[in-house]
Structure 1
């Protein structure tokens, strides 16, 4: 099968949007499919290369950094020139965000169109466009209308919602809400199939757009990459102290650290010299200035480092999304380790995948209201489960629908 993936995000850039499609592209290439990825230019990366059997074409006039974009620790400058410069930049940024469409990566649309035009002589059995950025969908929509015979099956895949999202608006909704709706209606009605990672997201789209062809293909994971065996508490530099690890980004109004930090501050007061919480991931404006030992904020880390961190943790910590129909992809990676999980519920209550893993007795749930009994309940869970791990068979049963081979085959069937 000849497959084309149109996705602004692809390694060496980091993030879940890049990882999902790198894993699928490499899987399909190993299976003998011809896979081409049309993606954005990256500083230091070749504009054309074959990596792991995948043909990669990077195109665009604005090269992005391959780094994770962690916030640096900069000292404030108090002089008048510096303050004036900051004010000017802030004003320009506000004006820019007021006007751009469809999202902050709008400038990739001409490049994506040019890249697709250059590929017009190739006939693809399956074309997958991935949002964010929505410009990938727009470019593929135009390509499909201009060269319908070259695009036998078009799948519009959603990592994040577009017009149905008020919590994470992609642009100025006061200015563009109707345009967002019209553009997305055109995408979902012209694509052969739209793909979402959760039933909740699909339901939100069906409610807004009515009947169109769509399926749910969940977050994927290669269990063998994450499952690593029991934690080695006795070999820790802080012997006897259970290491809890949170890995992932934060987003204001959706996934904020406040409840987690408050809870662990109470926990370590009640149980001194028992626990340490290490937090990794971009803050995205969330405040970690109050963190003090044994609670540590380390900032963003690379993908490889993140995998090693969650594999070596004694216990993992998760914060569910609130005000958002999406589920973080890292949950299936957490579960794949077999580690116990301390889970802070969002406004949707216990989500399905966590409920399944909870049947192995490897999850403790924390609601929005916390009592002293909750502190002791969670402490007891961590102390009892900190050196334990779910079996390979238990993890495999929980993640059977998320296995990378199963998800990959489901996409291939969409192109058959």
Structure 2
């Protein structure tokens, strides 16, 4: 097949969706498909994400503001003021910076102002409509995939309907608990249009599929669950990992982001009550309270700042166990959870014992579940610390290799290939004739 992917989040962006497509296009290309990607021209290197020389990436200007920032950041004298969230040096991991300098603060302010008037945020200023038309005309792809997030990529499908098979990699709902109120009506309308208009929709959890069906009824095309995954390739050890972990401690690693809907407060409170345990956090940015606690309690908490993807995987594989913190929204599963499945290390999930992650860990036999409260976390960490000291950490776990293999990127690419083939068959047979648009996209409330 000739596949055209439209994705804002694509390397060099270090986001979870960028990671997802870095692996999927690599594997789809390896399976013999001609893969092209339409993406914004963003600065940076690959941040340790996989690369495939066979994939052709077509870059266009990211928009007035981000495009200007991208151009400026390529100038050596400007990089010092624009990379203030965190930097990485090849010799080892960085330390998270407690604050932005004036240039970083100005950039954040500009992003905030622009995001207030641009749907769904500042990324919506990327409008490659003409470039997409030209690529479809010249490449004549069998299928076009629009990747969410951001939601602005989904509207591009409007100009493709009836011309080419159209698949939407939706992942999470467009209308989510964190969607600003000013965009909620517009987000719901776009979500419904995609659900009722695309030749195929992929989501990352069954709970998301069920939620969307309850909101919008039967989808026009087939909805398929294709979760995040893990890479089973060989990785060279990072040069700084030699004596990075203390053999006298229970070493816990968290590699992920912190959001308003993923609160580490209970985890940190429980950690600080438990001697002999240290948590290492690799994250692009952390809450100010976490920075203060790390300075006050270095024996319990170590912050590394941002790590490239490949080194984050190395860090995970060297820990005694890896930590997953549940999102408040039960339909969302953190993408890092699937990376953890590939680390070979036991997983401690802090969340509800009945949520999707808890069910997966129990079926796969790879970890434990703990309620998100300081007392529960402290008790669990003390038990695991004692088990490690006694040499029995993980003895009660029974890994299921067959289940875990379902989450390898090589397997998930096969699943995605089936989704694309089905969408093409539907379109070519005439069953995929685009339905009429019900209503124009509503204005902002």
TM range (shorter): 0.7 to 0.9
Equivalent of 2:332 in 326, 329, 352: 326
Counterpart of 1:54? 55
Deviation larger for 278-287 or 381-390: 381-390
Counterpart of 2:148? 131
| Structure 2 segments unaligned to the other structure (5+ residues) | 75-82, 87-95, 422-445
Secondary structure class of the residue paired with 1:406: helix
Deviation larger for 291-300 or 32-41: 291-300
Secondary structure class of the residue paired with 2:323: strand
How far 1:359 sits from its partner (Å)?
Answer: 5.3
- Pair 39,324 (structure 1): closer, same or farther in 2 beyond 3 Å: farther
Structure 2 residue 302 is the aligned partner of structure 1 residue 296: yes
Counterpart of 2:439? none
- Pair 313,24 (structure 1): closer, same or farther in 2 beyond 3 Å: same
How far 1:104 sits from its partner (Å)?
Answer: 2.6
| Structure 1 segments unaligned to the other structure (5+ residues) | 269-273
Structure 2 residue 387 is the aligned partner of structure 1 residue 384: yes
**How many Å separate the matches in 2 of 1:384 and 1:221?**
27
How far 1:24 sits from its partner (Å)?
Answer: 1.0
Structure 2 residue 126 is the aligned partner of structure 1 residue 108: yes
**How many Å separate the matches in 2 of 1:257 and 1:136?**
31
**How many Å separate the matches in 2 of 1:284 and 1:236?**
21
- Pair 206,334 (structure 1): closer, same or farther in 2 beyond 3 Å: same
**How many Å separate the matches in 1 of 2:109 and 2:84?**
25
- Pair 325,378 (structure 1): closer, same or farther in 2 beyond 3 Å: same
Counterpart of 1:38? 38
How far 1:33 sits from its partner (Å)?
Answer: 0.8
**How many Å separate the matches in 1 of 2:84 and 2:21?**
17
Does the CA contact (< 8 Å) of 1:247 and 1:279 recur in 2?
A: yes
What's the CA shift string for 1:157-209, capped at 9, x where partnerless?
Answer: 1233212x12x21xx42x33332222222222111011110111112211111
Counterpart of 2:429? none
Does the CA contact (< 8 Å) of 1:226 and 1:336 recur in 2?
A: no
- Pair 382,341 (structure 1): closer, same or farther in 2 beyond 3 Å: farther
- Pair 92,10 (structure 1): closer, same or farther in 2 beyond 3 Å: closer
Counterpart of 2:349? 343
**How many Å separate the matches in 1 of 2:274 and 2:170?**
38
What's the CA shift string for 1:363-402, capped at 9, x where partnerless?
Answer: 2322134548x63443222442586679999352232332
Secondary structure class of the residue paired with 1:157: strand
TM-score by length of 1: 0.80
- Pair 199,98 (structure 1): closer, same or farther in 2 beyond 3 Å: same
Structure 2 residue 420 is the aligned partner of structure 1 residue 415: yes
Equivalent of 1:316 in 319, 322, 345: 322
TM-score by length of 2: 0.76
Q: For the aligned residues, what is the CA RMSD?
A: 3.5
Paired residues, what number?
381
Secondary structure class of the residue paired with 2:14: coil
Counterpart of 1:276? 278
Does the CA contact (< 8 Å) of 1:227 and 1:311 recur in 2?
A: no
**How many Å separate the matches in 2 of 1:317 and 1:24?**
25
Higher relative contact order (CA 8 A, sep 6+): 2
Secondary structure class of the residue paired with 2:329: coil
- Pair 375,126 (structure 1): closer, same or farther in 2 beyond 3 Å: same
Equivalent of 2:158 in 141, 148, 155: 141
How far 1:234 sits from its partner (Å)?
Answer: 11
- Pair 219,392 (structure 1): closer, same or farther in 2 beyond 3 Å: farther
